[in-house]
Amino acid sequence: MSDLHRLAGVAPTAIAVEDGVGQLSWAELDRRSTLVGNGVEALGAIPGTHVAICVSNRTEFIEASIGAWRAGCSYTPVKTGWTAREIGDVLDNAETRVVVTDREGARAAASERGLPVIDLDADYEGWLAEQSDAPLTGERFGFKMSYTSGTTGRPKGVRLPGSGTTPFDQAWAGLAYWAEVQQLPGEGAHLFVSRLFNGAPNTFGMGAMARGATLRIMRSWDPAAALAALAAPDVTSTIMVPTMFRQLLALPGVDRSVRPAPQIVTILHGGEPCPIPLKEAIADWFGEVLVEYYGFSEGGFTIVAPEEWRSRPGTVGRPIGGMTVKILDADGHEVGPHTEGTVYFQPPPGRTFSYQNDSAKTAAAYRGDAYTVGDIGWLDEDGFLYLCGREADVVVSAGVNVYPAEIEQALFDVPGVRDLCAVGGPDDERAEAVVLFVALAAGTDSDTVLAALDAAATERLAGYKRPRTTVVVDDIPRDQTGKMLRRVLRDPLWEGHDHFAASGPSTSTQRVPE
């Protein structure tokens, strides 16, 4: 296994990662990740087993991730705001052997299952000093296994092609390749403004580092601090979600006639729809540096470059990595340009994904050798993809997926609740926010039930999943089969708002005006 600095093509003394509190050179990152790799193996995470990493924005997240990867383990960056119950779902599904964390929820989940914990706040340096520094061999085939919630409300582990069969050096080169095709440079510093556990920012930010850039981590998101950090003379790239764009544009006392970061080469963005006026405002301010992506943990991916999006407003680009996009109607037939249908990605032969320990869910995602996550869209004559809705009723809040079924499952047993339905409503800052509609049981007091719902949400759901608004209604609309009619409640919330989530599911193909 090669030294990390050699893989990145930089000097061993160059800074690999920093977080405003500490920094690691490439040689230090190489040494410390080796110690972590040997340490997790000593705790029982042998090659082929799983390590959960529930860690806040700090350099230790990176050394733990690379350490588990080099050790030959699968590893999952777990959301730090999840409750012990939510984290436990991941630990159970992945059959986790070791948990690395600085969060109470992960400590509790691990304790309930008798799992060893590497606690970053409990003499981590002392633990690290006790581990072997023996080199980890290149025949270990570790990989990142992302978890994505589904409409059933349970997280799903995604095993991508090559997972568990790709040597570390080769996988590192692949990570660098994905950064290159997204125009993330391998010099200067990549400013990491998101949470380190966020899927795409994690993959692509580490990809910029794999190319040789310094990974500069903001400990937490703050618009004013981010704007100042972007102006640093060595920052060449970053990744944001449109919610961050809105917050930057809302900063008072800023002269937007002057480019705030003239050295920036690429601002990669995705994770949620970006309204055209918002994208134009950021581009007018920062310059023609916006690269937009559309993708998901299962592997579908498109990209649109700065020179393309202005002439094709609204597109999320064309597929890369040997993939093709197909638009299929309800019967599975491919439709032509400017016709809406379900978006399917067809990978190269043999490059299929699977869900961890769930062959039924894997099979349900495929039609032949193409797969979907249920988004609705259309293609133009040149193969550029446009999104217009989604089959699954996912709420995308500040770039993070929130699944109504999970919220409903968590709150359905609150005393006094007869029925409930969660939907996404417009939110000026976060694009979408959860609105909960509740039908009360006869003879109950609404104030008491609402207080109980709020308490249950606080206990059972991460903060970004909790309803921002709760509305009491007489009944939750359902059809004759008992299926919930979300659109009846959701669509009025979107009247007068221009956002793709308002389109909702599509059950038949429609012609898009040319």
Annotated domain spans of the chain: 4-166, 242-390, 397-497
Q: Is 4-166's fold the same as 397-497's?
A: no
Give the tokens for residue 147.
């978890």
| pLDDT value for 151 | 38
| pLDDT value for 149 | 56
> What is the CB neighbour count within 10 angstroms for residue 133?
10
| pLDDT value for 374 | 84
On whether the CB atoms of residues 100 and 38 are closer than 8 A, the answer is no
* Rounded (to 5) percent helix, strand, coil in the chain: 30, 25, 40
On whether the CB atoms of residues 332 and 366 are closer than 8 A, the answer is no
List the pLDDT tens digit at each of the 514 positions of the chain. 789 999 999 999 999 999 999 999 999 999 999 999 999 999 999 999 999 999 999 999 999 999 999 999 999 999 998 999 999 999 999 999 999 999 999 999 999 999 999 999 999 999 999 999 999 987 899 999 999 854 345 778 999 988 999 999 999 999 999 999 999 999 999 999 999 998 889 999 999 999 999 999 999 999 999 999 999 999 999 999 888 998 899 899 999 999 999 999 999 999 877 878 889 999 999 999 999 999 888 888 999 999 899 999 989 999 988 899 999 998 999 999 999 889 999 998 888 899 998 899 899 889 998 999 888 889 999 999 998 766 657 788 888 878 787 788 789 889 999 889 999 999 888 889 999 999 998 899 999 999 999 999 999 999 989 999 999 999 998 764 456 788 899 989 998 886 544 333 333 445 554 5
Distance CA(437)–CA(474), nearest Å, equals 10
Q: Single out the residue of 361, 410, 408, 372 nearest to residue 89, CA to CA.
A: 410
On whether the CB atoms of residues 397 and 434 are closer than 8 A, the answer is yes
| pLDDT value for 392 | 59
Fold of the domain spanning 242-390: Rossmann fold (3.40.50)
pTM passes above 0.85: no
The matching CATH number, chosen from 3.30.300.30, 3.40.50.2300, 3.40.50.970, 3.40.640.10, for 397-497 is: 3.30.300.30
Q: How far is the CA of 40 from the CAs of 29, 30, 108, 264, in angstroms?
A: 16, 16, 19, 38
CATH architecture assignment, domain 4-166:
3-Layer(aba) Sandwich (3.40)
Q: Is 297 helix (H, G, I), strand (E, B) or coil?
A: coil
| pLDDT value for 391 | 65
| pLDDT value for 389 | 61
